[in-house]
């Protein structure tokens, strides 16, 4: 069986989990191509006008998945206790059914960690029954899925980029891609998971360094915007050429929880909590020279997280830039703003000890501090 998996939205966080799950069940998971003009235009045309850019891109990806027996689109309600995905994610897949070709067959399953592991396994078993898998097979597949997701997290913590890590998982889940990477199909399917062990990661880590003099920038925002290089006009790559870039995924759960505990009221949107926690940790980190918040037009949770982070950055005198993407964003404008921001960081370093003629920050009386 071959199932299509859209390279959009929650692919950027949970693809390894589903790749491991279906790998164990012997089902091939075929991902849609990288976002391109055609995918973007289909998404913009077919998705509801008032939804956000990532959901529009998702619609485009679902439409171009071909040669598969069905499309897999899980409803991820809650991935940890007391947090939920935003309403636009909770509304999937039903909210976009009408935009898909009539012949599309969509497989879905509810994942809700609020009810604990037992509820998640029960949902997966109900889903597995529909595709002819036994309860035992689903239990094993679930264990494998968790192992792959943890391996992904370890790879990221050890300095692997998103692209490198995903290339590896996609090759395992989709054997046709193995040849392109120079592996034999059989050998790789059996051997590659063993290479998720520490030695492999440490080798990779040793390659880091040699960029000591470049500024350190934290790029915070939703993973499906940070790594969506078509929609963000290669922002990550552009920044990496001129700076050392740190992202939300480089921050562990402990610092995120610590920052979160400082709030009077807890944030219960999963992504908002992560972005706020990681962003606040970067704001307080003296090694980080500046923050860039990558947001998109139409995102409700960003309007709150961005404001909270902007206040913290101001209080800590940390340079802070907001880039908001929508389908009309222009490349020239983006490049100019990044360059101006990087220039400002350099100047700030060079003239750090110079005070303004007023002897204090010009914005120190702002009501936003």
Which of 4, 20, 43, 54 lies at the binding interface for ligand SF4 (CB under 6 A)?
54
Which of 57, 76, 89, 124 lies at the binding interface for ligand SF4 (CB under 6 A)?
89
Counting Cα atoms < 13 Å in the Cβ hemisphere of 256 gives 17
The CA–CA distances, whole Å, from 301 to 8, 81, 120, 307, 347 equal 19, 19, 26, 10, 33
For the four alpha carbons of 282, 238, 327 and 95, in that order, the dihedral sign comes to negative
CB of 95 to ligand SF4, least distance (A): 11
In this structure, the number of other CB atoms found within 10 A of the CB of residue 240 comes to: 16
Q: Which is nearer to ligand SF4, 32 or 188 (CB)?
A: 32
Q: Reply yes or no: is the peptide bond before residue 93 cis, omega within 30 of 0.
A: yes
Note whether 168 and 21 are within 8 A (CB).
no
Q: Of 48-56, 116-124, 127-135, 276-284, which part binds ligand SF4 (CB under 6 A)?
A: 48-56
Which of 39, 47, 86, 217 lies at the binding interface for ligand SF4 (CB under 6 A)?
86
Q: Which is nearer to ligand SF4, 25 or 76 (CB)?
A: 76
CB of 162 to ligand SF4, least distance (A): 17
Q: Of 23-31, 84-92, 226-234, 251-259, which part binds ligand SF4 (CB under 6 A)?
A: 84-92
Which of 56, 222, 238, 274 lies at the binding interface for ligand SF4 (CB under 6 A)?
222
Q: Which of 142, 137, 157, 152 is nearest to 109 (CA)?
A: 142
Which of 145, 173, 299, 313 lies at the binding interface for ligand SF4 (CB under 6 A)?
299
In this structure, the number of other CB atoms found within 10 A of the CB of residue 261 comes to: 9
CA geometry: angle at 104 spanning 103 and 109, to 5°?
A: 145
How many residues touch ligand SF4 under the rule CB under 6 A: the total is 13
- Report DSSP letters for 147-211, one per residue: HHHHHHHHHHHTT--HHHHHHHHHHHH-GGGTGGGT--HHHHHHHGGGGGSHHHHHHHHHT--S-
CB of 228 to ligand SF4, least distance (A): 11
Which of 271, 273, 312, 318 lies at the binding interface for ligand SF4 (CB under 6 A)?
271
CB of 54 to ligand SF4, least distance (A): 5
Q: Which is nearer to ligand SF4, 92 or 125 (CB)?
A: 92
Residue tagged 């692209």 (tokens): 163
Q: Which is nearer to ligand SF4, 13 or 302 (CB)?
A: 302
Which of 78, 232, 301, 306 lies at the binding interface for ligand SF4 (CB under 6 A)?
301
Q: Which of 248, 256, 255 is nearest to 218 (CA)?
A: 248
Residue 309 found at the interface with ligand SF4 (CB under 6 A):
no
Which of 145, 278, 296, 345 lies at the binding interface for ligand SF4 (CB under 6 A)?
296
Q: Which of 127, 131, 96 is nearest to 112 (CA)?
A: 127
Q: Of 52-60, 202-210, 273-281, 316-324, which part binds ligand SF4 (CB under 6 A)?
A: 52-60
Q: Which stretch of DSSP H or E encloses residue 72?
A: strand 70-72
- Contacting positions for ligand SF4 (CB under 6 A): 52, 54-55, 86, 88-89, 222, 271, 296, 299-302
């Amino acid at each position: 069986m071959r199932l299509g998996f859209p390279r959009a939205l929650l692919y950027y966080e949970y693809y390894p989990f589903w790749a491991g799950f279906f790998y164990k069940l012997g089902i091939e998971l075929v991902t849609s191509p990288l976002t391109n003009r055609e995918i973007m235009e289909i998404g913009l045309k077919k998705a509801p006008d008032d939804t956000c850019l990532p959901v529009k891109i998702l619609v485009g990806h679902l439409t171009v998945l071909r040669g598969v027996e069905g499309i897999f689109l899980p409803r991820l309600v809650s991935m940890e206790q007391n947090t939920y995905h935003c309403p636009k994610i909770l509304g999937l897949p039903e909210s976009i059914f009408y935009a898909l070709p009539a012949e599309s067959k969509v497989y879905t399953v509810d994942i809700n960690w609020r009810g604990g592991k037992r509820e998640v396994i029960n949902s997966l078993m109900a889903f597995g029954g529909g595709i002819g898998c036994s309860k035992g097979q689903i239990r094993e597949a679930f264990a494998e899925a968790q192992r792959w997701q943890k391996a992904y997290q370890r790879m990221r913590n050890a300095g692997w980029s998103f692209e490198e890590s995903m290339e590896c998982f996609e090759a395992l889940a989709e054997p046709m891609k193995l040849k392109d990477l120079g592996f034999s199909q059989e050998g790789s399917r059996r051997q590659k998971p063993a290479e998720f062990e520490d030695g492999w990661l440490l080798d990779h880590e040793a390659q880091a360094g040699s960029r000591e003099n470049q500024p350190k920038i934290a790029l915070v925002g939703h993973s499906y915007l940070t790594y969506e290089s078509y929609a963000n006009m290669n922002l990550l790559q552009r920044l990496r050429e001129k700076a050392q870039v740190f992202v939300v995924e480089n921050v562990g759960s402990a610092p995120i929880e610590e920052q979160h505990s400082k709030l009077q009221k807890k944030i219960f949107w999963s992504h908002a909590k992560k972005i706020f926690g990681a962003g606040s940790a970067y704001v307080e980190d003296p090694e980080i020279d500046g923050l860039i918040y990558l947001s998109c037009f139409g995102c409700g949770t960003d309007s709150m997280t961005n404001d909270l982070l902007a206040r913290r950055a101001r209080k800590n005198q940390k340079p802070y830039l907001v880039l908001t993407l929508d389908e009309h964003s222009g490349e020239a404008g983006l490049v100019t703003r990044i360059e101006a921001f990087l220039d400002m960081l350099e100047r700030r370093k060079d003239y750090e000890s110079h005070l303004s003629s007023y002897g204090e920050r010009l914005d120190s009386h702002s009501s936003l501090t």
